[in-house]
Amino acid sequence: MKKFVLAIVLLFCFLFFMGNSPRAVHAESTVTIGTGGVTGVFYQAGGAIARIVNKKRHEYGIRCVVESTDGSVYNIDAVISGILDFGLAQGDRQHQAAFGGAEWEGRGPQRDLRSMFSLYAEACTLVAAVDSGINTIADMRGKRVNLGHPGSGHRQNSIDALNAAGIDYKKDIIAKELKPLEASRLLKAGGIDAFFYTVGHPTGAIIDATSGKKKVKIIPMPVIAKKLVNDVHPYYVKTKIPIKYYRNAANDADIETFGVKATLVTSVKASNMLAYAIAKEIFENMRQFKSLHVAFQGLDKTKMLENMSARIHPGAMRYYKEAGLK
Ligand code: GLU
């Protein structure tokens, strides 16, 4: 009996000391962030969020991990179904999901989707081989063009741009659905004439595409941008791709095009504590966040609460109110 009591006392002592050791304050739970391809900027953005939030992982009891995924459309569906906790998504795809349009047509508004914040601008980038003879989007008829893979956000931007030019992607071009890096490789090898990619700049796949032996050009789309911004969709904005990032491209000036904002989304399933922690750590460590990629340099806290169509997660909203941002 004495031995039994002693064992119990020792067990309690052990649990007490374990409980007071800093590492055991919380059992860490893993929080997943869906991004895009590893050469894109979504991947960098997810990595930057994880890096900053994980500094406080003992305090919050969470550890963020980044997953490479197909992109916006996949991420939105994955956070809603609970496969991912957070995901990067183009603001235009967030809008369509929230209102049940485009990829979500027939499935209705995605009411469980929640927004966290907006980040940097992504520009719809049309890259073409100079020897394809493509100088404007109107020259794309009959060409082999990569629109983007299913699950990506840019696939629908490509279709919107072609539609605005009066080109039916099902009939007027030879459409491909490859990932950006595969598209870049194939462009350099002469297997396709052009590819679309909506992405922050500078980015690996475009550097890769413009750095081969084959002369490659980024095609300006000023007329399409005007049309899309004025007549068609509320979420497109005019933007420019700085040519300084792609010195080997056969362009001599910044490229006019249209774009969207990259955003972070989650769902009603995320706890208030979790959404609060992520919003707070990113907003309060903004200087460090901005230093992690050139595309993040222009971030502005007030603008980061714009371009969101899904309801802001209440946990994140609690932080924005505390910080006087809402
Ligand atoms: N905008 C792209 C998408 O939604 C991803 C861009 C990136 O990976 O940076 O699929």
Output the CA 36–ligand 1 centroid distance in Å: 5
Residue 8 pLDDT: 56
Sign of the alpha-carbon dihedral angle for 13, 17, 19, 20: positive
Instruction: Specify if 11 maps to a domain.
Output: no
Is residue 263 within 6 Å of ligand 1 at its C-beta?
A: no
Model confidence pLDDT, tens digit, residues 301-310: 999 999 899 9
Is residue 94 within 6 Å of ligand 1 at its C-beta?
A: no
**146, 107: one domain:** no
Position with higher pLDDT, 93 vs 23: 93
**134, 250: one domain:** yes
Residue 5 pLDDT: 56
Residue 301 pLDDT: 98
Output the CA 32–ligand 1 centroid distance in Å: 17
Instruction: Specify if 12 maps to a domain.
Output: no
Q: Rounded to a whole number, what is the distance in angstroms from the first to the last CA of the chain?
A: 63
**256, 280: one domain:** no
Instruction: Specify if 13 maps to a domain.
Output: no
Output the CA 147–ligand 1 centroid distance in Å: 13
Is residue 39 within 6 Å of ligand 1 at its C-beta?
A: no
Residue 270 pLDDT: 98
**138, 60: one domain:** no
Output the CA 154–ligand 1 centroid distance in Å: 7
Identify the domain containing residue 266 by its residue range: 27-121+262-322
Cα separation, 268 vs 197, whole angstroms: 30
Least confident of 4-13, 179-188, 191-200: 4-13
Mean pLDDT of the chain: 93
Is residue 225 within 6 Å of ligand 1 at its C-beta?
A: no
Sign of the alpha-carbon dihedral angle for 101, 125, 37, 64: negative
pLDDT over 60 at 15, yes or no: no
Domains contained in the chain, number: 2
To the nearest whole percent, how much of the chain has pLDDT over 90? 90
Is residue 157 within 6 Å of ligand 1 at its C-beta?
A: no
What does the angle CA 154 – CA 157 – CA 163 come to, to the nearest 5 degrees? 145
Position 28 confidence tier, pLDDT thresholds 50, 70, 90: confident
Nearest to 315, CA basis, from 268, 283, 261: 268
Domain boundary among 246, 261, 276: 261
* Interval 185-214 mean pLDDT: 97
**250, 300: one domain:** no
Model confidence pLDDT, tens digit, residues 315-325: 999 999 999 99
Model confidence pLDDT, tens digit, residues 114-127: 999 999 999 999 99
Which strand (E) or helix (H) includes residue 64?
strand 62-67
Residue 6 pLDDT: 55
Q: Which atom of ligand 1 is least distant from the CA of 35?
A: 8
Domain boundary among 261, 287, 303: 261
**251, 288: one domain:** no
Instruction: Specify if 284 maps to a domain.
Output: yes
Q: Which of 181, 198, 263 to mutate to test the pocket of ligand 1 (most atoms within 8 A of CB)?
A: 198
Residue 11 pLDDT: 53
Output the CA 182–ligand 1 centroid distance in Å: 14
* Interval 127-136 mean pLDDT: 98
Instruction: Specify if 20 maps to a domain.
Output: no
Position 22 confidence tier, pLDDT thresholds 50, 70, 90: very low
Which pair of tokens denotes residue 225? 């941008």
Q: Which atom of ligand 1 is least distant from the CA of 93?
A: 4
pLDDT over 90 at 1, yes or no: no
Model confidence pLDDT, tens digit, residues 248-297: 999 999 999 999 999 999 999 999 999 999 999 999 999 999 999 999 99
Instruction: Specify if 4 maps to a domain.
Output: no
Instruction: Specify if 145 maps to a domain.
Output: yes
**244, 267: one domain:** no
Residue 4 pLDDT: 57
Instruction: Specify if 276 maps to a domain.
Output: yes
**Residue 161 and residue 137 in contact, taking contact as beta carbons nearer than 8 Å:** yes
Model confidence pLDDT, tens digit, residues 133-189: 999 999 999 999 999 999 999 999 999 999 999 999 999 999 999 999 999 999 999
Q: Which atom of ligand 1 is least distant from the CA of 90?
A: 4
Residue 27 pLDDT: 73
Q: Which atom of ligand 1 is least distant from the CA of 41?
A: 9
Q: Whose CA is nearest to atom 6 of ligand 1?
A: 199
Domain boundary among 224, 246, 261: 261
Output the CA 40–ligand 1 centroid distance in Å: 6
**249, 143: one domain:** yes
Nearest to 274, CA basis, from 325, 322, 318: 318
The CA R_g of the chain, rounded to the nearest whole Å, is 23
**283, 215: one domain:** no
Per-position b or e across 253-272, b if 16+ CB within 10 A of its CB: eebbbbbbbbbbbbbeebee
Is residue 88 within 6 Å of ligand 1 at its C-beta?
A: no
**217, 299: one domain:** no
Q: How many CB atoms lie within 10 A of CB 178?
A: 18
Which pair of tokens denotes residue 183? 């598209």
Residue 25 pLDDT: 44
**240, 144: one domain:** yes
Looking up residue 80, the CATH number of its domain turns out to be: 3.40.190.10
Q: Which residue has the tokens 């990932």?
A: 179
**277, 317: one domain:** yes
